[in-house]
Structure 1
Amino acid sequence: MYPQNTPRVPAQRAVEVHQPTPITPAVPVPAPVVPVQPATAPTVASVVLPDGRIVTGYAVSPVQPEPISAKPVVSRAAVNVALGGVGFLAVCGGLLLLTTFITALTALITQLITLAAVLFGGFIAVQVLTASRHSGGGTTVNIRKAVIKRNHFHR
């Protein structure tokens, strides 16, 4: 092994350097510019000022203001409120039908439960009444005059 005072040197490795390859962006080719000749040359106007100077320039047409759009007969807010009211009425109608359906379903279930109780009660009553009329295997005890003396039963 190494002596205690000798520093340890790690093993040298080969260093690899990777350089990224630049990507050249695709430059769109500009369309060729073709000079466009006006269809007709604008007219040149000359004005003679009172002091004798002449001013030459192109005639400028006056700027036309944009036409004012006519206001609609009904405002958009009124239309939106009306449409909202129609939607609300449609929802309320659906809710009314839903509550009516739930009420009818509850009544149907109540009637079915009542019918089941009546049928089951009738079945039990028939069983009890037919069992008391039947005397095939039962024991009959007739008690006539009985005397009870000192906690003893005598016949």
Structure 2
Amino acid sequence: MYPEPVRHAPAERAVTPYQPTPLPPAVVHPAPVVPVQPGTVPAVASVVLPDGRIVTGYAIDHPQPAPLATPPAVSRAAVNVALGGVGFLAVCGGLLLLTSFIAALTAFVSQLIILAAVVFGGWVAVQVLGAGGHKGGTTVNIRRAVIKRNHFHG
């Protein structure tokens, strides 16, 4: 690929100077003037090239990378576990209210059944033991009866 370099003794080494190729002069177009707020004029920088030319221009501010996102103080898993616990407590509270409601409803229904039994039982007792109506037997009209010598003849 490359030819083998010739090795000389240290005293015989040839020094080959390299000269940069000069560039043709550039055509300078006047730059448009952009109004700039006072106090925000960028700093002017000058650079001296090896051939003695001076290049002057505005310093360029390099864009700063976006700051890295800081990790949250609490891990996502811990937040999920806490939210799950809160949800579980809410469900348990609802289930406790549901069981209380079922117990109250059961007590109410049992009281209605007892009330119906008492009312129906009282009605039956009045029908059976009541004094109303004919039960059979003989009806005696006391006004027409004749009582002789303390003896009743009906």
Question: Aligned partner of 2:127: which letter?
Answer: Q
Counterpart Cα distance in 1 of 2:47 and 2:135 = 143
Counterpart Cα distance in 2 of 1:135 and 1:50 = 142
Q: Are 1:83 and 2:87 counterparts?
A: no
Q: TM-score by structure 1 length?
A: 0.50
Q: Which secondary structure state, in structure 1, belongs to the residue aligned with residue 67 of structure 2?
A: coil
Counterpart Cα distance in 2 of 1:136 and 1:61 = 121
Number of aligned residue pairs = 104
Q: Deviations over 1:18-67 (max 9, x none)?
A: xxxxxxxxxxxxxxxxx743314323212112233332221123443333
Unaligned runs of 5+ in 1: 1-34, 141-155
Q: Quote the residue 1:47 is aligned against.
A: 47
Q: Which secondary structure state, in structure 2, belongs to the residue aligned with residue 38 of structure 1?
A: coil
Q: Which secondary structure state, in structure 1, belongs to the residue aligned with residue 57 of structure 2?
A: strand
Q: Structure 1 residue 115: deviation in Å?
A: 2.9
Unaligned runs of 5+ in 2: 1-33, 139-154
Counterpart Cα distance in 2 of 1:79 and 1:135 = 81
Q: Structure 1 residue 80: deviation in Å?
A: 4.4
Q: TM-score by structure 2 length?
A: 0.50
Q: Quote the residue 1:30 is aligned against.
A: none
Question: Aligned partner of 2:67: which letter?
Answer: P
RMSD: 3.1
1:2-151 matches, cutoff 5 A: 36-40=35-39, 41-76=41-76, 78-130=78-130, 138-139=136-137
The share of aligned pairs that are identical, in percent, is 68
Q: Greater Rg, structure 1 or structure 2?
A: 2
| Farther-moved stretch of structure 1 (42-51 vs 62-71) | 62-71
Q: Structure 1 residue 79: deviation in Å?
A: 2.2
Q: Structure 1 residue 136: deviation in Å?
A: 6.8
Counterpart Cα distance in 1 of 2:43 and 2:133 = 134
Q: 1:136 to 1:51 in 2, by over 3 A?
A: closer
Q: Structure 1 residue 86: deviation in Å?
A: 1.0
Q: Quote the residue 1:17 is aligned against.
A: none
Question: Aligned partner of 2:87: which letter?
Answer: G
Q: Which secondary structure state, in structure 2, belongs to the residue aligned with residue 55 of structure 1?
A: strand
Q: 1:60 to 1:78 in 2, by over 3 A?
A: same
Q: 1:37 to 1:59 in 2, by over 3 A?
A: closer
Q: Which secondary structure state, in structure 1, belongs to the residue aligned with residue 37 of structure 2?
A: coil
Q: Structure 1 residue 113: deviation in Å?
A: 1.0
